[in-house]
Amino acid sequence: MSTPAGPAPFAWAAYFETGLDDVDAQHHKLVDLVNMLASRAMGGEGLKPAELERILDALARYAQHHFSAEEALMQQVGLDPRHLQSHGRSHQEFITQVEDMRRSTDPARVTSVLYGFVTSWLSFHILDTDRSMARQIRAIQSGQSPAAAYELDAGVNPDPANQALVQAVRRLLGVLGERNRELVRLNAGLEQRIAARTLALNETNQELRQTLGRLQETQARLLEADKMAAVGQLAAGIAHEINNPLGFVASNLSALGGYAGQLLDLAGDSDRLVQGEMPRSAWQSARARIDLNYIRDELPTLLAESEKGVDRVGEVVRALSEFANPSPATGIWSGIPELMDQAIRETAEARPVGVDVVREYAPDLPLLPVNPTLLGSAFRALLENAALALEGKPGAITACLEQRPGELRIEVRDTGCGMDEAVRSRVFDPFFTTRPVGQGRGLGLSATYRIVRQHGGRIDVVSTPGMGSAFIITLPLVDMPAEGGP
């Protein structure tokens, strides 16, 4: 059972007042805050994280306004530097403690510290340091020097009201201390278990640190936003896509180097023949050793293959760059049903016999500002993927278009093999494919994902193994400008 809160322990009275209106107004607010905290503490009610954050914000504002005003006043009056130094140091300590409490991740601990902190500040700073400041200001204004005012105030006897307040503070802190000790006893067993578990985890973590360090270096280079989680698959895909063209480019360069060497040797022999340094029979013998007709036919082929291989590497690099940094698509007002119909026609030859394509288009669908080339490419990729999911068996592919509040929904679903969660979660990753090596690059769906993002939309996939898949694109609706408008 919680203890009733009872009356507030601190009532604003004359002994709080310094005679400085702005200072006293700020002190009055702090007394109200202390009474609220005391009431919560005595009632056994803690502070919620959001409430604690507001209180710390209020203390930060109090420090910013009150301290700057006090320090400006002391500088203006010209208090003794000894008082200025100690007074300013107490202000800085206040700010430091508030910031320490703000950085803490344990609201329960901060709450208990906060109760003691504000009450201690109220009694030991406001009723001591600030009242001392006020007395010295009045003494200087009456004609005393700052040094004399400082030394005279050092001999002032403690205010009885201050002593009474300190006693009240100590009683309050005693209640809080008892509550804290109870919490400590309750948490002692938990802390022991946590310590034991932490020790075991530390031993395990020690074994993993070196491995994790090496992995983090690799991941830092390969992770690209949230789509680069599958580092291993991405690295394997890139290596496969780049090594293949580089392999035959390297082979072609080796052959070209050999041919170049033969042709250069023959050119050197020709120079010597022209200059009379070599008999014609020797040149004809050297010429016969080189199959010029073969080299003449082979050179264009090798150069074309090498250029194609370099273009393939460039395509892979561009695909990665565009996936990571999609740019907005240039919009042309287009009909989505017409784009889907065109994609269906263009992918007809790739669909096996026995595959039906069903169109479910809602009437009067609005035009959208899209890039018809890019969006058509995305539709083709989805239709081709649906056909592959049927694995050569009869089935159906359905294209569904419908308007919803604020968006146009485009769905391509199939009755194919479906996907498990492991495949579904990575289906838009670049170079991820379930097809055999050499039969798919894994760029079609990742390009579709990028294109949809360029159009400000999103794409999702729903799939069940053995029951087919559905790819769902959602594009935002945009009002067409009025005729003659901007």
The model's pLDDT over 465-480, given as tens digits with 9 standing for 90+, comes to 999 999 999 999 988 7
Give the angle 323-324-329 at the CA atoms, nearest 5°: 60
Q: Are the CB atoms for 16 and 28 separated by under 8 Å?
A: yes
Higher pLDDT, 442 or 202: 202
- The average confidence (pLDDT) of the chain is 77
Reply yes or no on whether the pLDDT at 462 is more than 80: yes
Q: Are the CB atoms for 104 and 110 separated by under 8 Å?
A: yes
Reply yes or no on whether the pLDDT at 227 is more than 50: no
pLDDT above 90 coverage of the chain, percent = 19
**Residue type, position 116, single letter:** G
Higher pLDDT, 139 or 164: 139
Higher pLDDT, 400 or 444: 400
Q: Which residues are within 8 A (CB) of 218 and not within 5 positions of it... i.e. 6 or more apart?
A: 231
pLDDT above 70 coverage of the chain, percent = 72
Q: What is the DSSP letter of 479?
A: P
Structure token pair of residue 436: 């055999």
Q: Read off the pLDDT of each residue in 96-105 and give the average, rounded to a whole number.
A: 77
The 10s digit of each residue's pLDDT in 154-178 is: 776 555 555 555 556 555 555 555 5
Higher pLDDT, 384 or 281: 384
Reply yes or no on whether the pLDDT at 410 is more than 90: yes
User: Which residue is associated with the tokens 């016999």?
Assistant: 353
Euclidean distance between CA atoms 205 and 18, whole angstroms: 58
Report the range out of 112-121, 128-137, 231-240 with the highest average pLDDT.
128-137
Reply yes or no on whether the pLDDT at 234 is more than 70: no
Distance from chain centroid for Cα 318:
24
Provide DSSP, 104-160. -S-HHHHHHHHHHHHHHHIIIIIIIIIHHHHHHHHHHHTT--HHHHHHHHHTPPPPH
Higher pLDDT, 3 or 407: 407
To the question of pTM greater than 0.75 for the whole model, the response is: no
Euclidean distance between CA atoms 176 and 178, whole angstroms: 5
Torsion, CA 91, CA 94, CA 98, CA 99, rounded to 10: 60
Question: Element (H or E) spanning 409, and its range?
Answer: strand 407-414
Q: Are the CB atoms for 234 and 430 separated by under 8 Å?
A: yes
Which one, of 470, 445, 449, 451, lies nearest residue 376 by Cα?
A: 451
The 10s digit of each residue's pLDDT in 333-386 is: 999 999 999 999 988 888 888 899 999 999 999 999 998 888 988 999 999 999
Reply yes or no on whether the pLDDT at 89 is more than 80: yes
Q: What Å distances lie between residue 116 and 8, 29, 60, CA to CA?
A: 16, 17, 17
